[in-house]
Structure 1
Amino acid sequence: MNLKHALVMSAFLIAGSTAFAQTGNLKKAKTNIAKFEELKGAGSLELALPSLKSAQEAINAAVVHEKTKELAETWTYASLVNANLASIEKSAAYAQTAKEAIEKAKALDTDKVNAANINVAEQLLGQYNFNLGVGFWEGQDFPSAYKAFDAALNYLPGDSTLTYYSGLAALQSKDYANAIKKYNELVPVKEFSSHKSIVVDLPKLYMSIQDTAAAIAAAEAATVAYPSDNDAAVQFIEYNLITGNEQKVIDKITSQMAKDPSNKALPYYLGIAYNTTKDFDKAGAAFQKAVDLDPSYFEANTNLAISIMSNVRETLNKANNDRSLKAADYNAIVAKSKEDIKRALPYLEKAVSLQPTNVDALTNLKNYYDFMQNEAKSNELKAKIESL
């Protein structure tokens, strides 16, 4: 946050409007708040407080006096006094009074003579609400923290840090709509320190409200903003796989693999993409790369075996549906299929060794032995599955 009220105060507080005659209470309020600001700036808040209280007493009289109650300057100083009191005493009542005084001052200050001091009061109220939000955050009252941060933004519009905190509080409250709104406000602010995490997290927020189209668009925008970031690339791949856009991401995955060849997840995702398009040979080759990178990668071992078995199944289905095949040719295809499927066994066994109680892994291995007509092994696995 970027609060500059001390500098603005010293420059403008003692410069009153000359369009109206000074009255005793207004002048007293101005003098005392200038003294308060001077002492506070010197680090003597305790010594400064009596001056603020004197300014409060004087301005309370000025806002009801016939000669001063309709002056923009009166309400400007009323806002300054009450905004300072709100910040120091952590008082919602003073904050509300300051807010009302700001609104009155703006309405009366048609020539903008008091604009600088009104801005100071707004910064003070912004800081008050920010501090309030921090207190709520520390107490894990995230809905109240969001309200306070959002109120602070009314007085400090465009403050990137405050907008971020507001978005985080909304996120913690599972108020995804407001979290998305705040994050989107920060997307154009590329110089903000947390910009990358905001851009990469935004698609997740869209997914939280099941807006997959917006999630994919935001995920793609993240890859454009940070083309070398692995998290952004993988997220884009995952979301497209989830929503059935496999072909779209194959080139993206291949490109990312060239940049990050040691990332075992990328060839795994490529295998998933090829599997869904029923290109089992390419899927198997991709899963094999993932296994080569990490022989204990459970999901890659499992899916490599399934790709091999699926390829065999497709071959047999074609043979079964081809009425022109001679018996000898058909038998040759079946024999070859039984040899081809043996390639899956080491990966099926590896998956079971990695997760011995995983029902899916045991079922896949049982299916293999069913195909191979190994009744003893099949029954053994059936018993294990049933025991689980």
Structure 2
Amino acid sequence: MNIKSLLLLAAVASAGTSVYAQKNNVNKAKTSIAKFEELKGAGTPQLALPNLKTAQEAIDLAVVHEKTKDNAEAWTIYSLVYANLANLDKSADEAKKAEDAIVKAKELDKDGANKDNIRVSEQVLGQFNFNLGAEEYQGQKYKEAYDSFEKALTYLPGDTTLIYYGGISALQSNDYAKAIAKYKELIPSKEFSSHKQIVVDLPKLYLSAKDTASALDYAAKAVEMYPDDNAAAVQNIEFNLIAGREKEILAGITAQLAKDPNNKSLNYYLGIAHSANKNDAAAIEAYKKALAVDPDYFEANTNIAITMMNGVREKLNVLNNDRSLSQAKYNEGVAKIKEEIKPALVYLTKAVQLQPKNIDALTNLKNYYVFMQDEAKTTEITAQINALN
């Protein structure tokens, strides 16, 4: 946020000579506030403070004097003085005086002679509320911070930093609706330094708000805006998988893998997509590629084993439902299935090694031993599961 001083007090002419004597305090305040701004701009705020106090004393008298109480310039200077005091003193009371003075100055300034200096007052009040919001945010008062940033925006409309800070304050207080509104407001501002992060994070906010349709929509838009960004591409894939859109995203995963073939997560996601599309062989191949990159990838070890076990389930069902088979033929069929399922044991065991207290991993291993009719191992794993419950 860049607050630019537009103080033009020296350029504002006195409004006639008939009330000159009554305007001495206005002129004194005007001269003092101009000196204050000059010294403050030179980086010497302590030297500038006496001029601000002088301006305060003079303008306090001017705005109650019969001849100047309805003078637009007087109320403009009053707003400048108290806006700066509020900033220096961190005073809400002084900020309120500046706010009220701005309203009064605008009502009286029929010809717009003071509009530039009124705008300066608004900028200073915007800075005051920004500073207040930043302090509240640091103190983890996120709702209050949001309100302060929102108030600052009334004086500094369209300020991208304020919009962003308002968004992250709303996010910290789990007010997803307000956070989403602020993030969406920043989408057209492509020059904003955090634009890409905003575009990528917006779908997450929608997902947190349980608006899956909008999350998918903005995840796709993030890829459109930043087609070469890996985070945007992977997020779009993940959200589509969460939404059960494996068929729709399969091509997207394949395209991203062409750019990054050794990405373990992408290979894992490809496995999930193939599994959902009943292509077990392709799924197993994808999981193997993920494990080639990271043998300790828990999810890939789990999924490849389950895919292998599920792949022979239909064969077992066929055997169980075929009443024409002799016992010998049935036993022969079961023996073949047991051989086919044996490769899953390596991955099931690895998953338990990686997460020995994971009940799902232990249950998968137990189910394998149940099918293999290994009573000793079944009892052993059952005891491990019982000890965790």
Q: Conserved in 2, the CA contact under 8 Å of 1:291 and 1:300?
A: yes
Alpha-carbon distance, 1:271 to partner: 1.4
| 1:320 CA displacement | 4.9
Return the letter of the residue paired with 2:248: K
Is 1:92 matched up with 2:92? Answer: yes
TM-score normalised according to structure 2 size: 0.91
1:14 aligns with 2:30: no
- Show the counterpart of 1:178: 178
* 8 A contact 1:126–1:151 mirrored in 2: yes
Alignment map for 1:151-190 (pairs within 5 Å):
151-190=151-190
More displaced 10-residue stretch of structure 1: 332-341 or 32-41: 332-341
Which whole-Å CA distance do the structure 2 matches of 1:372 and 1:47 have between them? 87
**Structure 2: how far apart are the matches of 1:171 and 1:20?**
54
> Aligned equivalents of 1:357 and 1:137: distance in 2?
39
- The answer for unaligned runs of 5 or more in structure 2 is none
Alpha-carbon distance between aligned partners in 2 of 1:360 and 1:53, rounded to the nearest angstrom:
71
Cα deviation for residue 19 of structure 1 reads 5.3
* 2:100 maps to amino acid: E
Structure 2 distance, partners of 1:212, 1:351, is 31
Letter paired with 1:250: L
Distance in 1 between the 2:299 and 2:43 partners?
62
Residues 29 and 77 of structure 1 are in contact (CA less than 8 Å); yes or no, is this contact kept in structure 2? yes
CA contact (8 A) 1:17 1:113 kept: no
Distance 1:162 1:125 in 2: 13
Deviation string 1:166-210 (CA, Å, 9 cap, x unpaired) is: 222222222222222221121221221112221121122112221
Percentage of matched positions with identical amino acids = 60
Distance 1:66 1:306, change over 3 A: same
What is residue 197 of structure 1 aligned with on the other side? 197
- The equivalent of 1:248 in structure 2 is 248
Q: Check conservation: 1:164, 1:186, Cα contact below 8 A.
A: yes
TM-score normalised over the length of structure 1: 0.91
Mean alpha-carbon deviation: is it higher for 220-229 or for 85-94? 220-229
C-alpha distance in structure 2 between counterparts of 1:51 and 1:226, whole Å: 52
Residue 222 (structure 1) aligns with: 222
Q: Which residue of structure 2 aligns with residue 346 of structure 1?
A: 346
Structure-2 change in CA distance of 1:20 and 1:142 (3 Å):
farther
The aligned residue for residue 264 of structure 2 is 264
Q: Show the counterpart of 1:369.
A: 369
Q: CA RMSD in A?
A: 2.3
**Alignment-mate amino acid for residue 42 of structure 2:** A
* Stretch moving more, 63-72 or 141-150: 63-72
Q: What does 1:304-319 correspond to in 2, within 5 Å?
A: 304-318=304-318
What does the per-residue CA deviation read over 1:232-270, in whole Å, with 9 as the maximum and x for residues that have no partner?
Answer: 222222222222212111111111111112210111112
Q: Is the 1:200–1:222 Cα contact (8 Å) retained in structure 2? A: yes
The AA in structure 1 aligned to 2:305 is A
Q: Distance in 2 between matches of 1:277 and 1:322?
A: 27
Distance (Å, rounded) in 2 between the aligned partners of 1:250 and 1:203: 20
Between the aligned partners of 1:387 and 1:44, the Cα distance in structure 2 is: 70
In 2, Cα distance between the equivalents of 1:318 and 1:285? 26
Residue 205 of structure 2 aligns with an amino acid whose one-letter code is L
Using the TM superposition, name which of 302-311 and 358-367 deviates more: 358-367
User: How many residues are paired up?
Assistant: 383
Once residues 251 and 86 of structure 2 are traced to their aligned partners in structure 1, the CA distance between those partners, rounded to angstroms, is: 58
| Paired residue secondary structure (2:68) | coil
Change beyond 3 A, Cα 1:80–1:289: same
Corresponding residue SS for 2:343: helix
- Cα distance change of structure 1 residues 278 and 148 upon mapping to structure 2, 3 Å threshold: same
CA contact (8 A) 1:17 1:73 kept: no
Preserved CA contact (<8 Å) 1:153 1:159: yes
Q: Deviations over 1:89-142 (max 9, x none)?
A: 221111001111112222332332222111111111111111112222222222
CA distance in 2, matches of 1:302, 1:89: 61
Answer yes or no: is the 8 Å Cα contact 1:223–1:232 preserved in 2: yes
Corresponding letter in the other structure for 2:143: P
- Aligned residue in 2 for 1:147: 147
Deviation string, structure 1 residues 12-52 (Cα, Å, up to 9, x no partner): 11122465555222222222222222233334433332322
CA distances 1:24-81 after superposition (whole Å, capped 9, x unpaired): 2222222222222223333443333232222222222222333333332222111111
Structure 2 equivalent of residue 303 of structure 1: 303
Question: Which residue of structure 1 aligns with residue 289 of structure 2?
Answer: 289
| Greater Cα shift, 287-296 or 50-59 | 50-59
Pair 1:60-2:56 in alignment: no
Structure 1 stretches lacking a partner, 5+ long: none
The alpha-carbon deviation at position 377 of structure 1 amounts to: 2.4
Q: What residue in structure 2 maps to residue 79 of structure 1?
A: 79
In the other structure, the counterpart of 2:280 is: 280
